[in-house]
Amino acid sequence: MVMDEPLDFEMEQEEDPLLAAPRPTKRKKVIGLDDLLLDYYESGKDERKGKAKRRPIGYNSEDLDDIFRNNSEKEIEICKIVKSVEEEAKKMDATEDVPLWGQKVFGCQKPPSILSDTGVENCHLLQSFSSDELLGFDLEIDKGEGFLEGLLVDGWLLKLVHISGSVEDSIVSWTLTKMLYSSNKKLQVSATDFWESILSVDEGDKLPVTLGCFPSYSVLKHAILSYGYLFDTPDTKTSISGSAADRLGDGPPENIIAWLRVVSACCKVRVSMDLNCLRIVDCITGTNDRNKFLRSQLALQLLKISFGLKVGNVEKILKLVTSINVKDKECDLFKRYVYLVLMDKLLFSTDAFRNKTMVVDSWRNYLRSCSTQIGCTDWRFYASKVRNKASYLLQRVMVKR
C-alpha cells in the first residue's frame, strides 16, 4: 500500500453525493485597485487598436459615435413612417368607394308614379269660391286646378292660407307634387316659395300655419330616385334598370333645386325629441364615408335643435348631455335615452372623434355613471332601458378603442 494514496473511507466520502462538496480554495493573491485599473486600460487599449484598424482614415472615435447615433435616429424615424403607412394601408378597404371628383351620382330620370289625383278639386277652398255668389262668376270644378295654379303663381294662395291659419291636406299634396315634378318653371318656384313660407318658424319656434302633414321621408326619397339619383353606388344594376322608353334624360331635372330647398326648410323646423328622431337617423344606411358623415351630422343637428342651439360644436353638446344627472327624480329618462343614441351616432358613425381622448373619455365616464347610478329597483319610465343602453354603448366604446 502506497502511503500517499487515500484510505478507503476517505474515497467513500469523496464519492458520497449526500456530503457537501468541498469549497474551492481561495486565491491567496489579493487584487488591488491599481491592478483593476491597469487591466481596464490595457483591455481598452486593445479594443481601440482593433477599431482603429477597421475605421477609415481621418475619423476619430467621437466622429464615429456621432455618425452611428445619427444613423440610428434616422432608422428609427424611417421605421415609424413605414409603420404608420402600413397601419393606414390596413385600414383602407379595397372595396370601399373612394370619393373622386366628377363621380356620377345621377343616372337616367324615371317618370314619377305619384302624379295621381290629389283630390284638390274637392278642397274647401275651391268649394268656397264656387259657392260664393258675391264673387260674380261661376267656377267650374273641372277647371279648379288651373284656377289654383293661378293663385299659386300670383301669390294669392299663400295669402289665403295665412288668413285661414291652416292648410288642407289636399292643398299640401297638390303643391308638393307641383314643386317636385312640374316642368313649369313658374310653378316650381312658386310652389317652393309657398313651402318655404309655411315652414318658416317665428321667434317662438312656431309655424305660421297649421299643417296636417309634412313632406314624408318616403315622398322625398321617391322624388329624388325619380330624378335618377344612384342611391347605393353608380355601378349598381338598379341604376340602369328600366326600358329606354321609361327614361326621360340623363342627370337630375331642375326640380332638384326645389327638392333641396324644401328639405332644407324641413330641417329648420323644430322637431320633438322622440323615437322618430332615431328612425330618421337609422334611415340613412350604407357604409361609405358619405353616408357615415351624413348620419353623424344629422344626429348633430337634431341635438342642436333639442338644446335650442343655433351654433354649437360637439364638445359643447357633449358637455350639455353629460351634465344631466340621471339620479334626479325630475330627470326625463326618455329624452336621456334619445340623447344616448344620438350622441353615439354623432361620435362613432365616423372616425373623426376616435382619436380625441378627452371627448371619448368624457363620454365613456358618463355612460359608466348612467349604467351604475340607475339601480335595478328604479321603476321610473325608461329607467331600465337607459341603464341597459348605457351598458351596451359602454362595451362598444371599450371595444372600439
Least confident of 119-128, 185-194, 300-309: 119-128
Q: How confident is the model at residue 399 (pLDDT cuts 50, 70, 90)?
A: low
User: Which of these three, 249, 270, 291, is where a domain ends?
Assistant: 270
Pair 275, 247 in one domain:
no
Query: Residue 54 corresponds to which cell in the numbers above?
Result: 477597421
Residue 398 domain-assigned (yes or no): yes
At 78 the pLDDT is 77
Residue 236 has pLDDT above 50, yes or no: no
Same domain, yes or no, for 237 and 335? Answer: no
- Check if the beta carbon of residue 269 is closer than 8 Å to that of residue 258: no
Whole-angstrom distance, CA of residue 305 vs CA of residue 283:
19
Residue 251 and residue 257 in contact, taking contact as beta carbons nearer than 8 Å:
no
The answer to the question of residue 37 being in a domain is no
Q: Mean pLDDT highest for which of 46-60, 271-285, 321-335?
A: 321-335
Q: Are 255 and 179 in contact (CB under 8 A)?
A: yes
Query: HSE of 184 in the Cβ direction (CA atoms, 13 Å)?
Result: 14
Residue 297 lies inside a defined structural domain of this protein: yes
Is residue 296 in some structural domain? yes
So what's the pLDDT on residue 338? 92
* Residue 340: pLDDT over 90: yes
- Mean per-residue pLDDT over the chain, rounded: 75
Task: Kindly indicate the confidence band of residue 91, based on its pLDDT and cuts at 50, 70 and 90.
Answer: low
- In angstroms, what is the C-alpha Rg of the chain? 40
The reply to whether 264 and 297 lie within a common domain is: no
- Among the candidates 219, 237, 270, a domain finishes at 270
pLDDT at 339: 92
The answer to whether residues 303 and 189 belong to one domain is no
Q: Which domain holds residue 163?
A: 101-270
401 lies in some domain: yes
- 91 is a domain residue: no
Q: Are residues 264 and 373 in the same domain?
A: no
For residues 327 and 43, what is the distance between their CA atoms, to the nearest angstrom?
A: 75
Task: Examine the domain organization and report whether 324 and 394 are in the same domain.
Answer: yes
Q: Dump pLDDT digits (tens) for 246-286.
A: 455 667 888 888 988 888 888 777 767 778 788 888 877 77
User: Where is mean pLDDT largest: 37-41, 189-193, 198-202?
Assistant: 189-193
Three cell numbers written together for 132: 260664393
The verdict on pTM exceeding 0.95 is: no
Identify which has the larger pLDDT, 28 or 393.
Answer: 393
Decide if 201 is inside a domain.
yes
Closest CA to 337 of 326, 353, 350: 326
Residues 257 and 312 in one domain: no
Do 398 and 348 lie in a common domain?
yes
Residues 376, 396: Cα–Cα separation, whole Å: 22
What is the band of 311 on the pLDDT scale with cuts at 50, 70, 90? confident
Question: Which of the listed residues 270, 303, 333 is the one where a domain comes to its end?
Answer: 270
How is residue 201 written as a grid cell? 318658424
What would the mean pLDDT of 320-335 be, rounded to a whole number?
87
Instruction: State whether 323 and 359 are in the same domain.
Output: yes
Number of structural domains the chain divides into: 2
Is the Cβ–Cβ distance between 354 and 366 less than 8 Å?
no
Q: Mean of the pLDDT values across residues 37-62?
A: 55
Same domain (yes/no): 275, 263: no
Same domain (yes/no): 115, 218: yes
Q: Which has the closest alpha carbon to 337: 396, 296, 386?
A: 386
Tell whether 23 is covered by a domain.
no
Please tell me which residue, 55 or 209, carries the higher pLDDT value.
209
Q: Are residues 111 and 234 in the same domain?
A: yes
* Rounded average pLDDT over 193-206: 82
